[in-house]
Amino acid sequence: MVVIGDLMTDAVAQAFHPLARGSDTPASVTMYGGGSGANIASWLAVGGVETTFVGRRGSDITGRTREMELMGYGLDSRMVMDPERATGTCVVMITHKGDRTMLSDPGANARLQPEDLPRDVFGPDAHLHVSGYTLINPDSRRAARVALRMARESGMSISVDAGSQAPLKRAGADKFLEWTQGVRLLFANLGQATVLSGTDDPEAAAKILTARYPNVVLKLGADGGLWASKTREGAIWAPAEDIEPRPGSVGAGDAFVAGFLPEWLAGRHPKEALGRGHHLAARALHQPGARPDLGEDQPVRRGAPRGQRIR
Ligand SMILES: Nc1ncnc2c1ncn2[C@@H]1O[C@H](COP(=O)(O)OP(=O)(O)OP(=O)(O)O)[C@@H](O)[C@H]1O
Ligand SMILES: [Mg+2]
């Protein structure tokens, strides 16, 4: 499996009290490896899927640390170093009530170039996942679009996620739909699906989107997730795991994608694939940071299916 996307540092700040604007608020602040694309790739690799990650980082110490972390997950890192821009950082602000706001500085991620794409990873037996952020960000868009074109031309199956609601809205639904033509599987949460389809009814949104993508997977938070297909009446829904998310948790959506994809590519029933997505999402919601916690006493799945062609 090949993942093209963003590599970030997440600075997760969790306020203990209501924000004292213009003054100080006691908080816990912790730095983690993040970036939606890198998170997905890490969860895939830890799950035993042979994974290549393509992205751009700064030539700074942080970038080196972030890349070392990726290699620690056992993935094939094909990062290009940007000589000027720093490795991306996202300030994740969590209020005392648990509301989450992200201040995202993509840094070097925004400079991904078509020349950064390693030609040898494009081939008919592999699957490509492109992070929505890379596509939505104007400066990395050309690289993402070239990657999508090369993947289509080499007969790869392709999935894309819709990145993030506000940037998606700014870029424009019509544009995003145009850039992602030929993609076989779209992942979106309900906010993103609403932007793309014009309705916030999950089943209706999924149905509308299957006119553009043969397969659509919607992540519905505590309400689970659903899969819809162009060739089938009605969506298949699977419940989320019955858990209490740890306050300040991040990255459930990325873990979900990494859970769903390999099962789906191996031809398992969508309900099973959704179930595996929910399972990894639940793990992300129970641990600090968005990447798999290797200290956790979790068996690493080995010999999981490689990225085969999607149905
Ligand atoms: N309260 C919850 N209880 C159980 N599972 C949850 C809960 N919230 C989220 N999840 C799990 O996380 C998955 C992804 O969550 P969500 O629908 O919010 O997607 P997302 O917005 O892409 O993710 P994120 O909020 O991490 O960016 C859900 O499909 C579900 O499996
Ligand atoms: Mg969400």
Per-residue pLDDT of the chain (311 residues; tens, 9 = 90+): 999 999 999 999 999 999 999 999 999 999 999 999 999 999 999 999 999 999 999 999 999 999 999 999 999 999 999 999 999 999 999 999 988 899 999 999 999 999 999 999 999 999 999 999 999 999 999 999 999 999 999 999 999 999 999 999 999 999 999 999 999 999 999 999 999 999 999 999 999 999 999 999 999 999 999 999 999 999 999 999 999 998 889 999 999 999 999 999 999 999 999 999 999 999 999 999 999 988 754 444 444 444 333 33
Nearest CA to ligand 1 atom 1: 222
Domain assignment of residue 197, yes or no:
yes
Domain assignment of residue 311, yes or no:
no
> Residue 99 C-alpha to ligand 2 middle, in angstroms?
11
Domain assignment of residue 295, yes or no:
no
Domain assignment of residue 199, yes or no:
yes
Query: How many domains does the chain divide into?
Result: 1
Bridge partners for 187 per DSSP? 161, 217
Question: Which ligand lies nearest the alpha carbon of 161?
Answer: 1
Tell me which residue range forms the domain holding 184: 2-18+29-285
Pocket test for ligand 1, best of 189, 236, 276 (most atoms within 8 A of CB): 189
CATH of the domain at 100: 3.40.1190.20
Q: CA distances (Å), 43 to each of 131, 257, 270, 280, in order?
A: 14, 9, 19, 8
Bridge partners for 216 per DSSP? 186, 228
Atom of ligand 1 nearest to the CA of 188: 22
Domain assignment of residue 294, yes or no:
no
| Alpha helices (runs of H) in 31-72, residue ranges in sequence order | 36-46, 61-72
Please tell me if the CB atom of residue 211 comes closer than 6 angstroms to any atom of ligand 1: no
Atom of ligand 1 nearest to the CA of 220: 17
Domain assignment of residue 307, yes or no:
no
